[in-house]
Amino acid sequence: MRLRPDTTRTRPAPTLHPRSASAWLTNKESTARAAGGDAPADLVTARLSKRQDRLDRLAAAKRTVEDIRTNDCS
């Protein structure tokens, strides 16, 4: 697998746009909490935190590749 940092997208912060998956999950979580369903809301919260952790790992990998490219390929 070839890592291409150029193609890694920077994602905007979640918005209230209906196509934003993060906004949809956040809305689903708040709706579940309002209905008294703490267990489903906790599952959605865990899913949202995993998503942010994955984005952080991808950003770190991109920085590592760019550092290697700068130091070793120039």
How do residues 13-23 score in pLDDT, each as one tens digit?
555 555 667 77
Q: Which position has the higher pLDDT, 7 or 34? A: 34
User: Rounded mean pLDDT of 15-43?
Assistant: 77
Does the predicted model carry a pTM greater than 0.85?
no
> Exposed, middle or buried: residue 28 (CB in 10 Å: 0-12, 13-18, 19+)?
middle
Q: Please determine, for residue 64, whether its predicted confidence score (pLDDT) is greater than 90.
A: yes
- Indicate the domain borders of the chain: 21-72
Q: Please determine, for residue 39, whether its predicted confidence score (pLDDT) is greater than 80.
A: yes
Which run of H or of E encompasses 55?
helix 38-72
Q: Please determine, for residue 61, whether its predicted confidence score (pLDDT) is greater than 90.
A: yes
